[in-house]
Amino acid sequence: MVKALAIDVGSSSIRTALVDELGQVSAVHQQRLTVRTPSPGEVELGPAEIARLSLELAEVTLHEGGRCDVVGITNQRATTVVFDPTTSQAVGPALGWQDLRTVLDCLVLQSKGVRLAPNQSATKIKWLVDQSGRAPRDLRFATIETWIAWHLTQGSTFATDRSNASVNGLVNRTVDGWDERVLSLLDLDEVMLAGLVDTMGTFGAASALSGSPPITALVGDQPASLFGQSCVRSGAKITFGTGAMLDMIHGNEPPETLNRFASGCYPTVVRSHDDAVTWGVEGIILSAGSCVEWLVELGVLSDPRESEAVARSVTSSDGVSFVPAFSGLGTPQWDFGARGAFFGLTRGSSRAHLVRSVLEGIAQRGADLIDAAEDEINTSLPEWRVDGGMSANRLFVQRLADFSGRTVAVSSDREATTRGAGLMALVAAGHLTLDDVEGLWSPGYVATPSLSDDERRSARHSWRSTIERAERTIPELSGISF
């Protein structure tokens, strides 16, 4: 059986596993990363720790599961490392995608006609270079797939794939070169940037691992999850974790701009192969599973897994609504001044009512994502696929189906990102075809809508009124747009 080693570097942990030709995931090992928040809005990780743990966990997986034939790397796309190529040492911390220390820099750039967001890499690179006191041309910039490939090949591969590059703020519209104007405004040197490569190809031998297997896939985490759920030529998924990310395959034509669409979604590259780029539409919920974790922190729940049973102990939320907006609202509103809120509370509101309202509020936001994405491409999809921790909650999944009016199919592997990276590596090496990957889809279970059309329209109308009440809680933040 041919197998791929998948290295999956997330926002707070690293996961390694073997993925075979049948899509089966085995020899899984995972370890949390050290995440530091020196000041509010700042998120730092250790570049050396990321590299070390990736190699150590990979060897543990290979020791348990046997050799691999190829390697696929997937990563949180905008976490940023700047390093010295002669020593392979980072010159500062890795700035996590959530890090907001460059908000003011982004606002200054807007006045110059360039729209960058603080969660993109571009302004993070500038900050790290400035803090290092080094000349830009003496340093190199890496997102995490680049950083891991550099260490796996012991410095012989310096590459970034187009799914990662499409969201870093530095690439041009057709993702085949770098934006010279942005580089100039940030006073960065093009020599810092990795070579642009396809998502699937051959990117050197992982000589730091036993057997020196070839690296054949580099891909961002959300596109990997899409592929891992067998959305190859069409289809869409939402990953419900701390937040939630929607990704939908759109086509082969590049968008007119890489900026956010009027729908609140934005364009992204889902993969590229043999110089053919497949584009997608992406949307985000800023607070999803974090709201359930908050209930645990408050003592309302003892464990997130308890939320389903507690919510099912009542037949409705009894008029209580919850808006999940701890960090503002993402797609479609993009209101950073919105804040989380309960509405409709009475003296009779119980713990179960509150828990159910939280799950239903997140499901309503999921339906908001679906509406925005389908409006953007003017297409209605009969089925949406979901993965991530919250996909284990059947009540939540059912309410997502109810509010969206769509069939919701739950991935049998809740960490589809890892599976997708392995499958991409196997396709790139010729061990699988795209048809094979499409044929591997076998959901864990499927939820179909239980509300009538009138009931769903009424629930959605009520939700729109509720969410409007949570918007612009902090007006000065609501006025900021990236």
Mark which of 202, 222, 242 sits at the end of a domain.
Answer: 222
User: pLDDT at position 32, please?
Assistant: 95
Q: What is the mean pLDDT of residues 334-346?
A: 96
CA distance 23 to 404: 29
CA distance 70 to 424: 10
Length of the chain: 482
Question: In this structure, are 102 and 149 located in the same domain?
Answer: yes
Phi (first) and psi of residue 64, to 5 degrees:
-80, -45
Q: What 3 state SS string does 359-391 have? A: HHHHHHHHHHHHHHHHHHHCCCCCEEEEECHHH
Question: In this structure, are 262 and 191 located in the same domain?
Answer: no
Question: In this structure, are 74 and 170 located in the same domain?
Answer: yes
At 135, the pLDDT band (50, 70, 90 cuts) reads very high
Give tens-digit pLDDT for 234-275: 999 999 998 999 999 999 999 998 999 999 999 999 999 998
Strand-pair partners of 195: 159
DSSP H helices in 207-322: 221-228, 289-298, 307-312
Residue 426 lies in a domain: no
Mark which of 205, 222, 239 sits at the end of a domain.
Answer: 222
User: pLDDT at position 304, please?
Assistant: 96
Strand-pair partners of 35: 45
User: pLDDT at position 400, please?
Assistant: 98
The DSSP secondary structure of 327-358, one letter per residue, reads TBB-TTT-BTT---EEES--TT--HHHHHHHH
> Within 10 Å of residue 475's Cβ, how many Cβ atoms?
10
Q: What is the mean pLDDT of residues 1-28?
A: 96
Q: What is the mean pLDDT of residues 98-120?
A: 93
CA distance 322 to 467: 9
Residue 312 lies in a domain: yes
User: pLDDT at position 41, please?
Assistant: 87
Question: In this structure, are 234 and 106 located in the same domain?
Answer: no
What's the domain range around 45?
Answer: 3-222
User: pLDDT at position 277, please?
Assistant: 96
Query: Nearest to residue 218, comparing CAs of 159, 267, 169?
Result: 159
What tokens appear for 134 in the block? 């080094």
Average pLDDT, the chain: 96
Residue 445 lies in a domain: no
Burial of residue 101, with CB atoms counted within 10 A of its CB: 0-12 exposed, 13-18 middle, 19 or more buried = middle
Give tens-digit pLDDT for 441-476: 999 999 999 999 999 999 999 999 999 999 999 999
User: pLDDT at position 325, please?
Assistant: 96
Percentage of the chain beyond pLDDT 70 is 100
Q: Which helix (H) or strand (E) holds 239?
A: strand 236-240
User: pLDDT at position 275, please?
Assistant: 85
How does strand 80-84 pair with strand 25-32?
unpaired
Mark which of 222, 247, 277 sits at the end of a domain.
Answer: 222
CA distance 353 to 237: 29
> For residues 113, 119, 123 and 129, what is the CA-based torsion angle, rounded to 10 degrees?
-170
Q: What is the mean pLDDT of residues 340-359?
A: 98
Give tens-digit pLDDT for 149-180: 999 999 999 999 999 999 999 999 999 999 99
Query: Nearest to residue 68, comparing CAs of 160, 4, 131?
Result: 4
Question: In this structure, are 184 and 330 located in the same domain?
Answer: no
Query: Nearest to residue 100, comparing CAs of 41, 59, 147, 143?
Result: 41
Mapping DSSP to helix (H, G, I), strand (E, B) and coil, where does residue 203 land? coil
Residue 147 lies in a domain: yes
Question: In this structure, are 55 and 142 located in the same domain?
Answer: yes
| 92 has pLDDT over 90 | yes
Percentage of the chain beyond pLDDT 90 is 97
Nearby residues of 7 by Cβ (< 8 Å), 6 or more positions away: 14, 15, 16, 54, 57, 58, 71, 72, 73, 74, 148, 421
Phi (first) and psi of residue 347, to 5 degrees:
-60, -25
Question: In this structure, are 243 and 136 located in the same domain?
Answer: no
Question: In this structure, are 196 and 289 located in the same domain?
Answer: no
| 282 has pLDDT over 90 | yes
Residue 77 lies in a domain: yes
CATH of the domain at 12: 3.30.420.40
Q: What is the mean pLDDT of residues 10-32?
A: 96
Question: In this structure, are 192 and 171 located in the same domain?
Answer: yes
What is the greatest pairwise CA distance in the chain? 66
What tokens appear for 482 in the block? 């990236």
Question: In this structure, are 136 and 166 located in the same domain?
Answer: yes
User: pLDDT at position 40, please?
Assistant: 87
Give tens-digit pLDDT for 283-317: 999 999 999 999 999 999 999 999 999 999 999 99
The answer, as to whether pTM is greater than 0.75, is: yes
Q: How many domains does the chain have?
A: 2
Residue 441 lies in a domain: no
Q: Which amino acid is at 398?
A: Q
Question: In this structure, are 206 and 271 located in the same domain?
Answer: no
At 48, the pLDDT band (50, 70, 90 cuts) reads very high
Q: What is the mean pLDDT of residues 182-195?
A: 97
Q: What is the mean pLDDT of residues 59-68?
A: 96
